[in-house]
Structure formats: C-alpha cells, structure tokens
Structure 1
Amino acid sequence: MQIQRAALAEGYSLKDASAYNIQFLAGRPVLIDTLSFEPYAVGTSWPAYRQFCQHFLAPLALMAHRDVRLGQLLRCHLDGIPLDLASGLLPRRSWLRPGLLMHLHLHARTQSRYVNRDTKVRPRVISRSGLLGILDSLESAVRGLRWAPQGTEWADYYQNTNYVDQAAADKTATVSDWIRQCDPDSVWDLGANDGTFSRLAVEHGAQTVAWDIDAAAVEKCYRHVRSHRLSNLHPALLDLTNPSPSLGWELRERQSFFERKPPDMALALALIHHLAIGNNVPLELCAQFFRRIAATLIIEWVPKSDSKVATLLCNRVDTFPDYTEASFQKAFDRHYRRLDRRPVAGSERVLYLFEAGS
C-alpha cells in the first residue's frame, strides 16, 4: 500500500501486485519490478487490486484465521489464491471483519457473478480520493491480521531440547570454531529452527539462509532479524523432503531449490535422524543430497540412544538396523573428505566436519 500511495503522489500507479515482485534484502521487503509502474489516469480503478487480494490479503487471512500451513497454497496457485477458495476456507467469524468482508468475501462473489459473462463490464470511475480510501481500507485489513508463532511442532524446540548446558556450550563452540576455520562467504543452515546456530555464521560475516519446515520457528527467526536489524540472515520455509520445485511455464518461471546458487557451507545440526528415521531416507541418499548442496558440511550425528530418536521410534517398529554411526561414516566418506570429528561433551551426539575431495 505504501508503494502504491507513493506512486500516486508522483502521478503513477502499480499495474501488478504479485508477491513475486517482492524480495527480501537485509531483512526488509523490497519491490524489484520497476516495470510494474504505469502513468495514473484520473478516474481509473487500481488494476492490481485483484492481484493484491489474491497474493497478499487472501493467504495472510487464511494463515491468521484458519491455519498457517494454508500459505503453501501459493505453490500451486502462482497468481495468488483464488478468492472464492479463500472465502470458502475462512471461518464464519471472518465475515464480521469489514476489510475481509469487502475485499475478500464480497470481492469473491463479484468475481463469480461476472466470470461467465460475454459482455465487457464497464469499469467504474473512481476518484483519486476514493482510490486512496480503498488503499487505506486494504492496509487496515492487512494490519488487522495477526498470527502468534506458536502451537507448531518445533516452535519451542530450544525450550524443550534434551541438551544440558555443557552440551549446548560445547556444540556452539565447535560449530563456531569450524565456521571460523573454513571462512565461508555463504552458509545454508538446514533445519535451522529459530536461527540460533545460523547466527554463528552471521557473526562471522557470512550471508546466511536459515531454512526450516516449521512456520513458527521461521517466523521467530524473522522477528529476530527485524528486531536486531541483521542484514545477512534470511529465514526461509522449506521441507527438505519436498523442496521447492521448478514452477510456472515450461518449469522455467521459478527456479527449484537445487537450481539456486549453492552456498560455501551447509549446516545440518540435529537433522539426520529426522531424515533417516522420521522420513525413511537412507543414509547414502542423505550423503548424496548434502554433497549436491554444499562442498563443506558441518553435520551432527544423533544416535539411536538419544531421547529425540527414541521419540521418533516410540510409536513405530524399528526397521532401521543400518542407522549406526559406522554406516553414517561409510556413507558420507564416499562423498566427502572427513576433516574433523568431535563428540559433543555431555551428550552422545557427535559433530563432523566434511569437505569435498578425496
């Protein structure tokens, strides 16, 4: 809304309001598509109104009022979540919100009324002040949406971790020492949770992406980025077992996870058991996966005797006889050269430092 208002003040208007036109730089959203601006004609409506509602208002409303996971609908609806779909999924209480009523529910009904008409609908004449009023109403609707980052599986991971203080301190010291030793310019922290260990790479000066499957953990990381004005940490939502694919026309509009520039180093802390046991990925395939991502890897081995692994196995048959540290070493030694191995003091876990090469 701020961009559209600024454009109107200069005699221009946004013709597009795609979420893909917004990228994050130094923790702040930035418009990257300058071709979206066109001269404003007095009396015309906002051409990007529908697209803004589908790309921003609808997904935010669904995440705030129904379930944060519904934001993933944007993966299969590249031009935003259809308003009739969003309206049908939202709870009845959302009709009591004036902004959602007007810009989402009634907007959806208007769309359905005209969808099959053969005659062209005459555009409404809207004064500049009327257009500014619509922008104010939209902004109010968006600002009225709230979601507390809690209630998800891993939102409180570091409050419920099985690490004693000694183990946490030793793990932090080792990871920090290896980051300093390898001196990476870029780091991907896979399974980063709220970015606690990502910030070790940030402190070293590396451009860091903190990837995690848990929306609440990612939101906590982002709020930390904003509150501390971190310019080189970017939180991102990602399911490693189902990473972002190539999307769009000829699968070339949006790059897949693997097509993006790989980092100098990857962190995989407290992750291997979730992949190998939680998601049935063999250790050999895990090793291939990490080698495809990064030439340098810091990874934490979590044995079956660990309480977190016991939790994964408590309601299922243990069909993982090859989940041993020896098998782990054998698999990763095929794809990396082992530089260091350090047990985490006060725990049964072990940290490994791997580098590409024989």
Structure 2
Amino acid sequence: MKKRELIREASSFRDPSGFVFYSGNTIYRQVNTSYKNDYLHFKNSGLCKKLVDEKLLIPFREVSNFKSADSEAFAVLKTETIPFISYPYEWCFEQLKDAALCTLRIQRVCLEHNMSLKDASAFNIQFLAGKPIMIDILSFERYKEGLPWVAYLQFCQQFLSPLLLMAKVDSRLGMVSGIFLDGVPLDLTSRLLPKSSYLNFSTLAHIHMHAHNQKKYGKSSSSVRLKSKALTKNMFLGIIDNLENLIRNTKYSNGQTEWGEYSNMMNYTQAAFENKKKIVKSYLVRQQPKSVWDLGANTGEFSRIAAGLGIFTISFDFDHAAVNTNYLQIKKDGETNILPLLMDVANPTADLGWAHEERKSLQKRGPSDLVMALALTHHLCISRNLTFRLIASYFQKIGKSLIIEFVPKSDSKVRTLLRNRKDIFPWYNQKTFESESSKYFRILKRDPIGNNSLRIVYLMERKK
C-alpha cells in the first residue's frame, strides 16, 4: 500500500501511546512503539476479544501493510466508524449514567486479565446502535498490584460529579462539563451538593473526602500514594463495586418537563397530526437521506419516522426531561437508529478545547443529509428574535435538505408566545417565510396539514 495523505484528529494529542488520524473517510489509530508491550498484552491476554465480544469496545483490526511516515509507529489499526461523535455535555442523565457503568464494567473486565484503565475519560465513550461503547483502544495498561487506580480522579470528575449534580441539584448542571472539559472539580461539586449528601457514605468518600484530600495533598497522585496503603486487587474491586452501586442508585426524576409529552402539546386534531406524519414520511422517502438531524425533536415522535425508514437520526432538544425520556424509550424498545442529544438550536455546541479544535461545533460535525425543523421556527422567531433569513442561512450550513414547518400568526401557539410581549414581527408571514427561505433553498414541495390547521410543511433543498 502506497503512502497517502494523512489528516490527524485535532483532539488526539494528549496520549503519548498513539493518535487517531484519517485517510479519506476511513478512521485509523496509530500505536506508538512506546505502547508496544501494553498493546501486545491487551491483544494476547484475551481482554481485547472479551471487550469486543461484549460490545464494550469498538471493533478494530490491524492494517499490516499500511505505510506510515511516522517513525514512532508500531502498528496501525482500522476502527469501525461512529456515525456521529457526541460529547458528554450533550448527553442526558441516563446516557451519562450508562456511559459511567460501561466504563466501570470495562475496568472490572480489565482486572480479570491483569490490566487496568489508565484513563477514564467520558470522551472515550460514544453511542453506537443505542448503547455506550469505548472508542479508545490505547487506554489500557498492565495492572500493577498495590498501586492506586490512576484514572480514579478522572472518573469521579467526568462521570460521578456531573451525575450527582444533575440528580441532586439541577439537571442543567450536566452542561457544566462543557466548561470543565477535564472534569468538574471535586471541590466545586462538594460545595454545590446538598448537605444531606454527607450522610451517604459513598458520596462522602468519592466526592467530599476525595475533594478534601486533593486540597490537603495537592493534585499530585504521588503525594497521596505516600500517605495511603497499598491497594490490593480485592480492594480495587471493592471500589468498583461501591462506585457501581452509588451510580445505579442515583436516580433522576424528570419532574415537570417544559414541553411535556408531544401528544399533550398539540393544538390541532389527531387527524391533522396523522396527516403531518404522512407528509413528513413522504418527504423522507423522496429524498432518501442517509442521516437526519431532527431539531427541536422533543421525545422523538418524528425522529422515529426517519429511524423506521432505516435512516440514522439524531434527535436534538434543549429540554433535558424530553431527551431523557427519548433515550429511555430507545433502551426499552431496542432502537438502534436514534441518538437523542441535548442541544439549544439558538445556542448550538461551539468549538471548544485547545485552539478551538479539540471538541467540534455542531456545524463542523455536519452537514446532515436532511434537517427537520418541525414546530420550531415560530419559537426561534418570536422567543429568540431570529429572522427567517438568519434561520434559513444557518439551516443551509448544517443540512443538504430541509423539512420545515411554517406556523402562522393565527395559530394558538404563536398567540401564546406573543401574549406577554409586544408584537415586533410585522414580517412574520408565509410570503416572507418563503421569500427569505428561497434565498438559500429551492422549495420542492409544500403541503398544508389541513383538518382545521393552517400549518404548512415544506420540503426544501439547499442551493449550491
């Protein structure tokens, strides 16, 4: 195989064991010579096969004839593709909880093969076919009896802290992980948690006392090691047991969702709703997209129409309870084509991390073949003061085709939005909507929902 142009993944610079790179649309991971012995043990001990068989680790294979220009290369691995890379601050509570339990399960299996996770980053977990899976093949090292778990602090900061804050304080605090990319500081978590959390031994040990020890001994793990007893494998397993029990018993109550169940939000008849679903399905069949981004998806009612057609669908909403409910439905029904994520369309995920390149914005992870924006535009216009032109301009950047719903001012939902504010939207009408949208998209079809509803669904295709 001849040498080719390689594009290195911008976020893959922290681990000296290797890095991720791309050749065309194919994802590879280089294993550096410095990681040779750990990699060979990982591969030959049976750990690799066990994790892949249990669908805890992304499948991969060695590419023996890959010509790398990097002299540090020991091996090159070709990995299965993840259709969409998501981040922990875009996950709901139940997604983060499952990702945490997945990580602990992997650590348990590692110990059975005399290995251990050397890092427990939440960014090493992605969702594939509705379930969490580890994507970092170089996170494993040979286990050394007596030494503490080097990834323990990272696990507590990136998984346990946001989970407890979401469950015990406010679900919106999960988004704090987008500020603290290396994990929510334990001292901050300790201060934010209610005083009653001190009465739970596990929370006391893993958060409050852990934060106290950090302050006392500093962040250097070697300082703590000198003060601690040797950690036997049984003690290590005991820590994993305790963390698993704490996380499993940490519950999140949806409470009063802002948007509620989709069926309770409709202001039109069931017949109109069924017709709207038929219209959307017909547009999807016509366009035949491979990917759909459903913006303002609520609990995923229309996302499931796309997923039912075999289309990989991302179901975005900014309401945590709605996303959480959507994910639980996916688990219950074993759905594999839907990924629910937290996202405020008016404030989408931005580029974060080193040089604004480590974690990609929503736009850079696109475009999707098709974007759906149903019962959304009036909220963006009236509540967020966005014009039709601004909305169309952004949608053109993230989607090749668009299914969008226009909701007229006479609609009760628009009247509700205008009830407590001055109407400064003389341009909010169908004519302006079509005129401004046409600057960025070609209107292919328009269909009224009918059955006493004046709403109209459009199919558009972006202009080149």
The SS at the match of 2:205 is: helix
> CA deviation digits over 1:185-241, x for unaligned, max 9?
111101111110001101111111101111111111111111111111111110111
Contact (CA 8 Å) 1:212, 1:238: kept in 2 or not? Answer: yes
Other-structure match for 2:373 = 268
TM-score normalized with structure 1 length? 0.97
Matched AA of 1:266 = V
The SS at the match of 1:148 is: coil
2:459 to 350, 353, 358: 353
1:152, 1:89 → 2: CA distance?
A: 23
1:120, 1:142 → 2: CA distance?
A: 28
TM-score normalized with structure 2 length? 0.75
Other-structure match for 1:165 = 270
1:306, 1:102 → 2: CA distance?
A: 54
Other-structure match for 1:153 = 258
> CA deviation digits over 1:245-298, x for unaligned, max 9?
111111111111110131111100000011111100111100101111112110
Q: 1:1-358 maps to which residues of 2 (within 5 A)? A: 1-115=104-218, 120-121=223-224, 122=226, 124-346=229-451, 347-357=453-463
2:172, 2:422 → 1: CA distance?
A: 29
Tell me by how many angstroms 1:97 deviates: 1.6
Matched AA of 2:211 = A
The SS at the match of 1:71 is: helix
Tell me by how many angstroms 1:306 deviates: 1.1
Matched AA of 2:463 = G
Contact (CA 8 Å) 2:366, 2:399: kept in 1 or not? Answer: no
The SS at the match of 2:138 is: helix
2:131, 2:154 → 1: CA distance?
A: 21
Contact (CA 8 Å) 2:406, 2:457: kept in 1 or not? Answer: yes
Tell me by how many angstroms 1:149 deviates: 2.5
Contact (CA 8 Å) 1:44, 1:124: kept in 2 or not? Answer: no
Tell me by how many angstroms 1:148 deviates: 2.5
Q: Give the gaps of 5 or more residues in structure 2.
A: 1-103
1:210, 1:295 → 2: CA distance?
A: 17
Contact (CA 8 Å) 1:17, 1:49: kept in 2 or not? Answer: yes
Q: Which moved more, 1:304-313 or 1:146-155?
A: 146-155
1:244, 1:19 → 2: CA distance?
A: 17
Tell me by how many angstroms 1:116 deviates: 8.2
Contact (CA 8 Å) 2:295, 2:315: kept in 1 or not? Answer: yes
The SS at the match of 1:274 is: helix
The SS at the match of 2:457 is: strand
Contact (CA 8 Å) 1:283, 1:328: kept in 2 or not? Answer: yes
Contact (CA 8 Å) 1:17, 1:52: kept in 2 or not? Answer: yes
2:445, 2:342 → 1: CA distance?
A: 30
Q: Indicate the RMSD between aligned Cα atoms, in angstroms.
A: 1.5
Contact (CA 8 Å) 2:441, 2:460: kept in 1 or not? Answer: yes
Q: Residues 311, 124 of structure 1: CA spacing in aligned structure 2 closer, same or farther, 3 A cutoff?
A: farther
Contact (CA 8 Å) 1:155, 1:214: kept in 2 or not? Answer: no
1:132, 1:116 → 2: CA distance?
A: 24
1:197, 1:116 → 2: CA distance?
A: 48
- Structure 1's consecutive aligned runs of 4 or more residues displaced over 6 angstroms after TM superposition are none
1:216, 1:163 → 2: CA distance?
A: 24
Q: Residues 238, 6 of structure 1: CA spacing in aligned structure 2 closer, same or farther, 3 A cutoff?
A: same
Equivalenced residue count is 358
Q: Give the gaps of 5 or more residues in structure 1.
A: none
